Amino acid sequence: MAPKEFTSVVRSSLWIYLSSLSNSIFGFLFWLIISVISGPSVIGYVSATSSMALLIASILSLGLPRGMVKWVGEYSDKNPERAKIYFWTSLSFLFLMYLLPSLAILYLGLSGHTFFNYEPTSLIFVSILLLISLSGIFASMFVALMRTFPYFVAVVIGNLAKLSVGIFLLFLGLGWVGALIGYMMSGLIIDLTGLIYAFTNLGTPTFRTDHLRDLIRAGVPAWLPNMIMVLGQQLAVVFAFSYLGAFDTGKFYIAMAASGFVVGIGASIQQIMLPYLSGLEDGRKRAAWRGLRVGLGFTLPLAVSIALFPDYLLGLLGKSYSSAWLELELILAANILVLISSAVTNLCYSKDMFRYVLNIGLAISVPRLILYFLATPFLGSKGIALSYLIGGITGLYYASVVSSRLKFHLDWETLRRALLASLVGVVPELPFRLVSWPWILGAMIGALISLLSLMKMRVLEEEDIRGLGRAIVPNRFKPMAYILTKPLLNAVYS
């Protein structure tokens, strides 16, 4: 494998983001059709069941997917055989960790037991979804190898299967069970694709206990805060399902999904930055800052634009969802703060400073988890979203403390200019908000102006834009793209 360059980070991040975008678009269609046919309650049942499975999988994972990204990313170039052992060891161990609890939950479901509002049928599906959750380790494999195009293809095929199977079974009258069977198709396709790719490119399975120790050592510092974070996130859905009902759970889940779509490009870049930083011998601090700057540069314009139309965006699924606009705003702000913290976390991870990784994660997760239980009974889903934001604030504060200790100075002046440049796009959006003009057009215009402002204020450098072009434009079109964009770049960066 050729040495990694930042262009490969952008390219790999692009496929990860397109995978996220595919999930968002197909997810929107999936939830829209379900909402039209059956209403938010079915969404509540599906999200609550899948959240329970993800919660259990996160507790059992011991952080191995994260540890695998670190070690496979570090050795994929200089020692491919060792990288292969790390992958197969993590997959084998996770399969055993998921299998036994899955069988126990299946037994409870088949025996007719009920857990909170989870009926026996729900428990059976939790058992199946737990095994399908191995798709997470395959996604991490593609990220670690920075070979994310096959993952993108699997996501698209899986979403097509989810949409077609789920809708077909809904029309057959299977209700939330049919919708959930369709929902599972995506994970199954990723599992199958990952297995084929691993056998083809990494060779036969191998298990080594010393490699397992490395994986656990690297995974546990991220696992504990991530487990608490997932516990908070998924318990939020489970808690809403148990106390607020399936209807409100469906609305809150859609708000979380919409926020994930908006910050997707920045999150994708941070996801790819871990194996990239781990593979560098020097210059990690400069690379980490550039990854953060570029990620925010392409995230903030869309985030600020959508922040002016949250009710309109959610209303695309139906008027009943528009009432979750404040939840969307709060979660969106929290996710942007976490992007900044993630840059520090990735740098610490690449330097094997696992204690700092643990502490940053705890600073984000513990306040969230405590406040979920305190605020939800009084404020409902808005209390969950507010707790989510407060956790993002505390996490960013501690991440800034850690960055100072590492002499990785976050350029707060550049971050301030990034926010101001993004807010410039709000001005042309206001008429679309105040009168009955197409809001989507206003959001697109605002995002474009914000992006140009970020370029003009040097938050996004000319080399960042050219690097994006090198990553996404096919070679045969690059001369033409250069001719077409050169006048614009000259005008903006003059």
Q: Sketch the domain layout of the chain as residue ranges.
A: 6-476
What pLDDT does 2 receive? 40
What pLDDT does 141 receive? 85
Q: Which residues of the chain have pLDDT under 50?
A: 1-3
What pLDDT does 188 receive? 92
What pLDDT does 355 receive? 83
- Residue carrying the six token digits 């910050």: 263
Q: What is the C-alpha separation between 168 and 104, in angstroms, rounded?
A: 31
- Model confidence pTM above 0.85: no
Nearest to residue 154, comparing CAs of 265, 264, 54, 19?
19
What pLDDT does 401 receive? 92
What pLDDT does 3 receive? 43
Q: What is the C-alpha separation between 273 and 470, in angstroms, rounded?
A: 18
